Amino acid sequence: QVQLVESGGGLVQPGGSLRLSCAASGSIRSINDMGWYRQAPGKQRELVATITSGGNYADSVKGRFAISRDNAKNTVFLQMNSLKPEDTAVYYCNFDVIGRWGVRASYWGQGTQVTVSS
């Protein structure tokens, strides 16, 4: 089993910055991909960024958000700059993992609230 723990959400004014973190622990042999998704009230969950190929981003966050990783700590980060009210959502991390016994599975963090408001 794999557990993901997120941190770093909160309330920020428009134009501000936040950094989200997500650390994985448990039976991990390797990690295929790491990513961030978000879900605003009344909307479907959407992709924000994944780490594959140096970083893939939703058009709405390109140039403002940056995804990075610390392989030694099985941790993924999301640096969010120039935040806008429309970035308000619950942010979830996702890991695509090969477990200790060779089984591939996808895991989600518990979600962290990001609110952008003056």
Q: Are strands 75-80 and 18-26 parallel, antiparallel or unpaired?
A: antiparallel
Give residue-wise pLDDT tens across range 31-88: 999 999 999 999 999 999 999 877 899 999 999 999 999 999 999 999 999 999 999 9
DSSP state of 71: G
Task: List the structure tokens of 118.
Answer: 């003056």
Give residue-wise pLDDT tens across range 55-70: 899 999 999 999 999 9
Count helices and strands in the chain by DSSP H and E runs: 0, 11
3-state secondary structure of 34: strand
Task: List the structure tokens of 44.
Answer: 């479907």
Closest CA to 35 of 97, 85, 84, 88: 97
